[in-house]
Amino acid sequence: MAFPNKGVMDKTALRVWFEKLRHPERRWLRVPIGIALVFGGLVGFLPVVGFWMIPLGLSLLALDFPAAAKANRWIERKFRAAVAWAARRGLLRRRRPD
């Protein structure tokens, strides 16, 4: 019998994993993962890694470091401004519900 999602983490499991990382006693794990994600994002032009890793790493680091929280807010503002700009020019397509 084949399992359709074998080896693939679903959204619920991923959400639970990230919620566990947010607990204060998990700082020893959160900081190295956040740093690795940011550095991995800096070489986002390479296969497997990507620029999406930078905001994810900063959001993990923002729980412990105010400077990371400030950088995370700056990236979020710039991203929202870029999406609004693209929407005003009609460059975004709506997704069809599956």
Query: To the nearest 10°, the Cα dihedral for 53, 38, 35, 23?
Result: -40
Report the pLDDT value the prediction gives residue 81, as an integer from 0 to 100.
96
Interatomic CA distance for residues 38 and 34, integer angstroms: 6
Which of the two residues, 49 and 7, has the higher pLDDT score? 49
Report the pLDDT value the prediction gives residue 98, as an integer from 0 to 100.
59
Report the pLDDT value the prediction gives residue 60, as an integer from 0 to 100.
87
Confidence of residue 78 (pLDDT cuts 50, 70, 90): very high
Amino acid at 3: F
**Dihedral sign, Cα of residue 6, residue 9, residue 12, residue 18:** positive
Asked if 73 contacts 63 with a C-beta cutoff of 8 angstroms, the reply is no
| Token couple for 63 | 């729980």
Has residue 74 got a pLDDT over 70?
yes
Report the pLDDT value the prediction gives residue 80, as an integer from 0 to 100.
93
The reported pTM is 0.64
DSSP state at residue 92: -
12-63 pLDDT tens trace: 877 787 788 888 888 898 899 989 988 988 888 877 778 888 888 888 888 8
